[in-house]
Amino acid sequence: MRLMTETKPLTDDDRWRIALDKDRRFDGVFVTGVHSTGIYCRPSCPARAPKRENVRFYSDCGAAEAAGLRACKRCAPDQQSREEGAVVAALKVLREAEETVSLESLGHLTDYSPTHFQRIFTRAVGLSPAAYQRALRRERAEEVLGEGGSVTGAIYDAGYGAPSRFYEDRKDSGMSASDWKDGGKGRTVHWAVIETTLGEMLVAATEKGVCCLSFNEGEKELRARFPKAELVEGGAEFRALFE
C-alpha cells in the first residue's frame, strides 16, 4: 500500500516532483512559490506547471508571504477547513512517528474527540488511523522486499517488534510477503482508479484481499510494482466495493 508514506525529509527535487504530479497528499506540507508571477500555490494546484528556475519552496503560507508572494486564487493555499487541517496535521505526525500513535493522542493533537476525529480521518483517507498506521508498516516492509531484502530484514526494518506482528498485519493483505518479493507471480490483480476527497486513488486486490491503495498512481505504477502478475481492470462491481 502506498498512502502518503514518505518518511525521509523532502528535498527540493522531491517537492518539484510532487508539484509536477499535482499530488494532493502533500497539500499543507509545503507550498510552491512561483517568483515570476509572485504567487504561491498548493502542491496540487491545477494550473500549468511553471519553469523550474522560477520556483522556490516554502514550509507554509507565512514563509511564502514573508518572501513577498501572494496566495493563488485558483487553489487558495491560504484557505483550509478545520477538518482538512486536522487530517493533514495527523498524517504528518503518523508519517514521522516511529511508534504507534494512539487515537487519543490524535484527538488531543487536533482538538477533536477521538471518536469524531476517527470519522473525519476515515472519510478523508479511506482508512481508520489504526489501519493507516498498519499500511505504513506494510509499505516500509514491502519496499525492503521489493529491493530484494529478506523477509526477516523487512520485518525489523519496518518497525515490527516481532515476526508475529508482521504476519498478523498481513493476514488480510492480498499479497503474501513471498508474493510481493516475486513481483506478484501467479496472481491476478483487479484494479481501478476511484475518486476520494483527497484526490484519485488506485485500488487493487487479489482474491485474497486488497494489495494496494495508492494516491495519484495508475496502471503503470501498479505494473511496476507487480511485473509478474496478471492485471485486470475492474468494472462497476469492483469499483462499488470501494466507493
Catalytic residues, by residue number, are: 41, 45, 72, 75
Phi then psi dihedrals of residue 150, to 5 deg: -80, 160
C-alpha cell at 205: 486486490
Question: Which contacts (CB < 8 Å, 24+ apart) does range 173-178 have?
Answer: 173/138, 173/208, 173/209, 173/210, 173/211, 174/204, 174/205, 174/206, 174/207, 174/208, 174/209, 174/210, 174/211, 174/212, 175/206, 175/208, 175/211, 175/226, 176/208, 177/141, 177/145, 177/151, 178/151
Dmax over CA atoms of the chain, in Å, equals: 56
Reported residue count of the chain is 243
The tally of CA atoms less than 13 A away on the side-chain side of residue 11 is 2
Using a 10 angstrom Cβ sphere, with 0-12 exposed, 13-18 middle and 19 or more buried, the burial of residue 8 is exposed
